[in-house]
């Protein structure tokens, strides 16, 4: 069902994971990487593993062309990450000056700052920021974003996406994710966050337990062919450092997720499928997984599905109708109901918040749903062959 090596070229994915984390680099894996680079066969997710491989790659282990590609990926990532951290720190200071309080940096920033191979070993596509309570101050927040030169790109029930003047993308969360919509989870993460004093400034990031839980669930619940299996890289980056994890803190945090099974299944998958050459405490990982409570029957399949060809960029119109309907039911009904139940918010306001920030009116929600449905149906018709099959 779920593989550590994704659904695409699993041999290449296995080889890249071993090159990232194994104690010894094998000639077989280096040959696989060489061939994939020469054939330009790496997916976007696999290209994102090259900077880490670069830090472990001996000189002359690949052809000059392939080695230049790997080294260049690290240099590009290091330069871009420095720019992103500069902008992130500027944003943090502006939040403090405006009275919004301290924020917690998630995912990419946390991974880059704690990677033992340096800031350039883990690419960041955007900046994810957790700022509890922002949903209660929408107009004030929008004015603040405008003052920073930021433009709203989109919004969901959990966050608003912004573009900075430099065209960097910021995802500002007030809830962790669609499967973690409790205010208490936000408060736990903020209370247990750790502080890193970096040359760029001070950054608050999740503690090891909360970071591991978030990475496990987020990766498994984000189907993508281009980023096939990428969640495993961040998880193994944490586990191979052999952190001393507080099982009670980890399990208490995960128990508040709508789909705790995602964390349990993903952690079991890592412990059971990771190549033997990658050394970490598998028994401790399995013990953590066993302590995670079971979710409600059917909840896992409401969120998880195996990535398909339609998950590639620009191919969503080929996604089966059942997946489209499931996503709409989850986003417009189930998740707003969870926000209302756990946080005392209005259900109808949460429905409006599922498509815009500030929350849209019910009339606009209806119009948006109708237009979105018509667009999908129209696109599917345009991409059907005379025999009635998707191209």
Residue 327's pLDDT band (cuts 50, 70, 90):
confident
Query: Does pLDDT of 227 surpass 70?
Result: no
Token pair of 282 as six digits: 């598998």
pLDDT above 80 for 311: no
C-beta separation of 141 from 135 below 8 A: no
* Pair 294, 196 in one domain: yes
Together in a domain, 328 and 285? no
Please tell me the predicted confidence (pLDDT) of residue 312.
Answer: 67
pLDDT, position 378: 80
Last residue of a domain, one of 303, 338, 365: 303
Q: In this structure, are 141 and 177 located in the same domain?
A: yes
Block residue for tokens 């280096």: 30
Domain shared by 267 and 126, yes or no? yes
- CATH number of the domain encompassing residue 299: 3.30.460.40
Based on the fold, state whether residues 154 and 214 are members of the same structural domain: yes
Q: What distance in Å separates the CA atoms of residue 84 and residue 29, rounded to the nearest whole number?
A: 32
Across the chain, mean pLDDT equals: 89
Q: State the total domains in the chain.
A: 2
Mean pLDDT score, 95-109: 95
Q: Are 13 and 239 in contact (CB under 8 A)?
A: no
Same domain (yes/no): 92, 241: yes
Region class of 194: left (phi > 0), else alpha (psi between -120 and 50), else beta = beta
Q: Is the pLDDT of residue 242 over 90?
A: no
- 214 lies in the same domain as 327: no
The DSSP 8-state label assigned to residue 203 in this structure reads E
What pLDDT shows up at residue 374? 82
Q: Residue 160 in 3-state DSSP?
A: strand
> Does 6 reside within a domain?
no
Q: 296 and 335: one domain?
A: no
Instruction: Answer whether residue 252 is part of any domain.
Output: yes
Ramachandran quadrant class, 60 (left: phi over 0; alpha: psi -120 to 50; beta: rest)? left
Residue 9 counted as domain residue? no
Residue 174 lies in a domain: yes
pTM: 0.90
What residues make up the domain containing 219?
Answer: 84-303
């Amino acid at each position: 069902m779920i593989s550590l090596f994704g659904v695409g070229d699993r041999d290449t994915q296995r080889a890249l994971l071993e090159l990232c984390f194994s104690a010894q680099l094998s000639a077989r894996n280096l040959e696989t990487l060489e061939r994939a680079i020469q054939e330009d066969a790496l997916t976007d997710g696999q290209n994102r593993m090259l900077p880490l491989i670069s830090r472990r790659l001996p000189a002359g282990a690949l052809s000059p062309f392939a080695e230049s590609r790997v080294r260049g990926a690290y240099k590009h990532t290091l330069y871009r990450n420095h720019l992103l951290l500069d902008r992130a720190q500027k944003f943090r200071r502006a939040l403090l000056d405006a009275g919004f309080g301290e924020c917690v940096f998630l995912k990419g920033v946390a991974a880059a700052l704690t990677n033992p191979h340096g800031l350039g070993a883990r690419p960041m596509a955007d900046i994810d920021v957790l700022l509890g309570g922002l949903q209660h101050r929408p107009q004030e927040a929008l004015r603040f974003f405008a003052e920073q030169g930021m433009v709203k790109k989109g919004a969901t029930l959990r966050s608003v996406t912004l573009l900075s003047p430099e065209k960097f993308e910021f995802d500002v969360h007030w809830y962790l994710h669609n499967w973690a919509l409790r205010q208490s989870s936000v408060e736990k993460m903020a209370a247990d966050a750790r502080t890193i004093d970096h040359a760029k400034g001070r950054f608050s990031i999740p503690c090891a337990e909360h970071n591991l839980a978030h990475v496990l669930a987020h990766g498994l619940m984000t189907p993508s062919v281009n980023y096939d299996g990428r969640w495993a890289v961040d998880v193994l980056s944490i586990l191979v450092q052999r952190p001393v994890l507080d099982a009670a803190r980890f399990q208490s945090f995960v128990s508040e997720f709508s789909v705790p099974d995602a964390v349990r299944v993903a952690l079991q998958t890592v412990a059971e499928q990771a190549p033997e050459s990658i050394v970490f405490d598998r028994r401790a990982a399995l013990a953590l997984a066993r302590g995670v409570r079971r979710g409600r029957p059917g909840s896992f399949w409401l969120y998880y599905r195996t990535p398909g060809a339609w998950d590639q960029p620009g191919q969503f119109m080929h996604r089966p109708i059942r997946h489209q309907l499931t996503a709409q039911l989850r986003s417009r009904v189930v998740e707003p109901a969870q926000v209302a139940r756990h946080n005392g918010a209005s259900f109808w306001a949460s429905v409006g918040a599922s498509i815009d920030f500030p929350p849209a009116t019910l009339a606009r929600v209806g119009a948006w749903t109708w237009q979105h449905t018509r667009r999908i149906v129209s696109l599917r018709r345009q991409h059907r062959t005379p025999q009635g099959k998707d191209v």
